[in-house]
Amino acid sequence: MKSVVVMNPKGGVGKSTLSTNIAGYFATCKHQVLLGDTDIQQSAKRWLSNRPSSLPAIQTWDYPADLVITAKPPASTTHLVIDTAASVSGWRLDKLIERADKILVPLQPNFFDIQATYEFIQFLKSKQPKDQQKVQVVAMRVNPRTKAWHHLMDFAEKMDIFLLTYIRDTQNYGRFSSQGTTLFDVDAAAFPSDYEQWRPLCEWLDN
């Protein structure tokens, strides 16, 4: 079973957007996907309750947030995606890192998120010094024409942070989430820019 954990100590950086779309990607690839949600707000789980039954199935646990951290998926599960709370720490954080095959860290291009995320990335690397490819960073809600984006790129270069890709600032994801759908449930020809931005991420997920 492949497990992907989406985490960042900052709230509102796009963890649920990444988690639900990753689950949607795996589902359209005909994998047996389970989406776990360790946040007490249960954003990912609420999104899943709106998912049309006509779309590729994504399962979830009917467990409290803490139990999702350690619960064992059904034997039929091939791909596990876990959306995490901003406040996760201590043994909860250690367990999530331990069970993850891949860790994805969403980052928004503003000063406070950059600083907090940099420290968190260094912490993750210290936990996995021999397997840094396990951790990747994705910039979220990006407008490449803004100064904030260029500041983020400069900071990432100076701090030796590799950005796997960026997800542009668009209302598409808000519309998808309100309908229980993902980018991968719609025609790629209608959203060519968004599909192209996801290409490096999907290749890493499949590796």
We report the CATH number of the domain holding residue 86 as 3.40.50.300
Strands, E assignment, 38-107 = 58-60, 79-83, 102-107
pLDDT of residue 128: 66
Is residue 164 within a helix (H) or strand (E), and if so which, with residue range? strand 163-168
- Whole-prediction pTM value? 0.93
Look at the chain and report how many structural domains it folds into: 1
Ranges under pLDDT 70 in the chain: 128-132
pLDDT of residue 120: 86
pLDDT per position as a tens digit, 82-123: 999 887 888 999 999 999 999 999 988 877 777 778 888 888
- Tell me which residue range forms the domain holding 15: 2-206
CB count in 10 Å sphere of residue 183: 22
Whole-number Å distance between alpha carbons of 157 and 180: 36
CB count in 10 Å sphere of residue 153: 17
pLDDT of residue 129: 54
